[in-house]
Amino acid sequence: MAISHPGPGSATVQYQWHGHGLYNAGNSCIISHVNRYLISLRLPTPGTVCRKTT
């Protein structure tokens, strides 16, 4: 992952697969983290990992 140390007040969610534009790809883990941030401005816990779903 290229961004291993985000800046102050930011966070990353690691996705264990490939691709980008994941919000519309149907991964419920990614969608829930993005929605939670957009609705309540709560960042994911450091070290959050989303795995590929089928």
pLDDT tens, residue by residue, 2-41:
555 667 888 888 888 777 777 888 889 999 999 999 999 9
When the pLDDT of each residue in the chain is averaged and rounded to a whole number, the result is 83
pTM over 0.85: no
In a domain, 8, yes or no: no
Domain enclosing residue 26, as ranges: 18-51
Secondary structure in 3-state letters for 1-54: CCCCCCCCCCCCCEEECCCCCHHHHCCHHHHHHHHHHHHHCCCCCCCCEEECCC
Number of structural domains found in the chain: 1
Residue 1 domain flag: no
Q: Looking at residue 3, what is its pLDDT?
A: 54
Is 40 a member of any domain? yes
